[in-house]
């Protein structure tokens, strides 16, 4: 791992997104609550939150982080579902991998829950949208 011991503790935020492309008939299936495995969008949201918390276990050499905020949103889009994750902490390293992992696992969860209904489904465009850090040192804040 990279040594971040000398870096200041600052507020850091990362936002990532991705899209799950599904057919119109599958979107109707989800909208009406008829998906066989349950409500895929809510389960995907929870899966994404869990994934952000477990990134250190999935990606070699990632730092274990005490995340202070995780938000995963799954919204219907014209061609499927847009997944967006926002992750925040006060720390010495960024949270890009946590945000990207949250989006990836949420998208994979949607795929898993709907794969029987749509053989042509795809996951596309997983990317980091933004990352920010405050300029002030937050050492000592609770």
Domain 14-133 has CATH 3.30.70.640: yes
| Domain ranges (residues) in the chain | 14-133
Q: How many Å apart are CA 38 and CA 67, to the nearest integer?
A: 29
Q: Catalytic site residue 137?
A: no
- Widest CA span in the chain: 53
pLDDT at 4: 87
Backbone angles phi, psi at 30, to 5 degrees: -65, -45
Backbone angles phi, psi at 27, to 5 degrees: -60, -40
pLDDT in tens, 90-127: 999 999 999 999 999 999 999 999 999 999 999 999 99
**Catalytic member of 3, 57, 71, 112:** 112
pLDDT in tens, 63-78: 999 999 999 999 999 9
Q: How many Å apart are CA 113 and CA 71, to the nearest integer?
A: 21
Q: Could you tell me the pTM of the whole model?
A: 0.91
Closest C-alpha to 111, from 19, 15, 16: 19
pLDDT at 136: 60
pLDDT at 53: 97
């Amino acid at each position: 791992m990279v040594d971040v011991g000398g870096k200041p503790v600052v507020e850091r935020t990362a936002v990532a997104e991705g899209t799950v492309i599904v057919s119109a008939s599958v979107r109707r299936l989800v909208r009406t609550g008829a998906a066989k495995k349950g409500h895929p969008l809510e389960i995907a949201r929870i899966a994404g939150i869990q994934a952000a918390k477990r990134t250190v276990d999935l990606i070699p050499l990632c730092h274990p982080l005490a995340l202070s905020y995780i938000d995963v949103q799954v919204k219907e889009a014209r061609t499927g579902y847009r997944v967006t994750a926002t992750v925040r902490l006060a720390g010495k390293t960024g949270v890009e991998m946590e945000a990207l992992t949250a989006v990836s696992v949420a998208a994979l969860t949607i795929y898993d829950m709907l794969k029987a209904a749509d053989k042509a489904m795809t996951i596309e465009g997983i990317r980091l949208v933004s990352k920010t850090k405050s300029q002030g040192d937050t050492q000592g804040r609770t």
